[in-house]
Amino acid sequence: MVSQGSTFGISDQGIVNHDAVHWNLGPEALYEETVRRGLGTVTHGGALTVETGKFTGRSPNDKFIVEGGASQDSIWWGAVNKGTSEEVFDNLHRQMLAYYQNRDLFVQDLHAGSAADYRLNVRVVSDSPWHSLFARNMFLRPNQDELANFRPEFTILHAPTFQAVPERDGTNSEVFIMVNFEKRLILIGGTRYAGEIKKSIFSILNYLLPERGVLPMHCSANIGEAGDTAIFFGLSGTGKTTLSADGSRKLIGDDEHGWSDQGVFNFEGGCYAKVINLSPEMEPEIFATTRRFGTVLENVVFDPVTRIPNFDDNSLAENTRASYPIDFIPNIEESGMGGQPENIVMLTADAFGVLPPISELTPEQAMYHFLSGYTARVAGTERGVTEPQATFSTCFGAPFMPRHPSVYAKMLGEKMARTGAKCWLVNTGWSGGAYGTGKRMSIHHTRAMVRAALDGRLASIAKVKDENFGLNIPEMCPDVPKEVLLPKTTWNDATAYDQTARDLRGRFEQNFKQFESHVTEDVKKAGIYAA
């Protein structure tokens, strides 16, 4: 089964002596190939359920960027962007090309970016059919005329079961994600976790787009009935997908966007939602996708007789996922684009339980919290994380930001000043105490607060100044009990609250020292409030 592909063949990328190449197969054929190879099971309703084995989340310590070339001085080198040599890259590249020989390969030619002016042509080559379906779900699918003349600008060579040998190959483990900006090539091996594919392209766009005046963002976005655009920053598990998939607003996208002079545009053509504890009552739009042909379910346990998925079972992973085309969500913006955002929501899952559930930020506070990127790493999103841990991930996406964070923060400040967008900090984490003592914030209350912020009802409500962080907390919010809005009143022990809040404020101040030389005094002081 060999399908027609681009005139720019994979031999141009060094791949020879393969068994067969399957070009741009649709879900029907990729289902067949997956099931025939014993790599997945069709479950109740039609979703394809797969397991990723040992690695059920991203492997940030195994990602490298090749040093040298034009990108050398533009990369924010360090713990996030680790360098490797051209020699190490070339050696693994040769091994992958040898591994591909006499194997079936699945190729998807795709676009990243709904806005044609900023679109990137991406090719994904894999020996795994379900990963090919994942890529097809997650990116934009060109039409037949576009495919005939398709020429990739970046190519991913993906081999999930090919493992590196650290002592020989210069890697940290058997897993490797290696980016070569000069050769416009990405190598991924040793992990079956599909999220590495989409995040690699996100990192590429995060490097390329700022030079063109576009702010790349780890955010979801939607449009209200009045045509107003809102964006939701946040790390995995903080609620980007859940809160943006609101039936009263059109979804632009759930994870990755650009903000240009023309407005906001989605990078992707699909969604990659966390589905642990998913229910039709709490998240009906997302739940419905798990019963559809074309959806890929990662590490979701199902009944072997009825094949009905059990989303409450975390025995395979806490980080269970659903990948599906965005048009599986009923209320979407088909163009994948919106206007200039009127509201910016920064989502944080506060594991200490001291940040208010919603507060309005000044422009300086917005830049401060954008650079801080405070949240809790959610169990399962990264290897080794088994419970929420307080962390700071600058720009709400540090693992995907090749440039210095100040580049992105400066762009955010400039775009906010130009458009007059309001910014809200929303805590989807804990209330009434820290993790282990308090309770997770009610999704019903969070939805009510976000809706009130986006439709303008919170703008005119009086605000009270938080005594620890200087945040402007609404005194009331429709459909939310007043006592929920002030975090201190939800704690049984006010002294414990004060001590925990001071501790968290100290963590903010310590973390922000790395950015102080890159921002104005007003931004520097925005997170240090003295009553």
Catalytic residues: 58, 199, 218, 236, 240-241, 255, 321
In the numeric block, which tokens belong to residue 476?
Answer: 């009331």
Helix H or strand E segment including 93: helix 86-100
Cα separation values, 496 from 94, 492, 499, Å: 58, 9, 5
Tally helices (H) and strands (E) across the chain. Answer: 14, 28
List the beta bridge partners of residue 63. 177
Q: How far is CA 226 from the centre of its chain?
A: 27
Nearest-Å Rg of the Cα atoms of the chain is: 23
Q: CA-to-CA distance for 199 and 57, rounded, in angstroms?
A: 12
List the beta bridge partners of residue 122. 110, 154
Q: CA-to-CA distance for 343 and 228, rounded, in angstroms?
A: 8
Q: CA-to-CA distance for 231 and 233, rounded, in angstroms?
A: 7
- Please count the CA atoms within 13 angstroms of the CA of 474 that sit on its side-chain side: 26
Q: CA-to-CA distance for 125 and 24, rounded, in angstroms?
A: 10
Cβ proximity of 275 and 269 under 8 Å: no
Q: How far is CA 438 from the centre of its chain?
A: 27
Q: CA-to-CA distance for 352 and 1, rounded, in angstroms?
A: 55
Q: Which amino acid is at 420?
A: G
SS3 282: coil
Q: CA-to-CA distance for 55 and 418, rounded, in angstroms?
A: 43
Cα separation values, 373 from 279, 349, 399, 406, Å: 29, 11, 12, 13
Q: Which residues of 428-461 are buried (b: 16+ CB within 10 A; e: fewer)?
A: bbbbbbbbeebeebeeebbbbbbbbbbbeebeee
Q: What are the φ and ψ backbone dihedral angles of 247, each rounded to 5 degrees?
A: -60, -20
Find, among 513, 504, 458, 509, the residue nearest to 485 by Cα.
458
Cα separation values, 517 from 215, 324, 387, 389, 406, Å: 21, 43, 34, 28, 10
Place of tokens 């141009």: 12
Instruction: Check the CA dihedral 440-446-449-450 and report its sign.
Output: positive
Q: CA-to-CA distance for 247 and 307, rounded, in angstroms?
A: 28
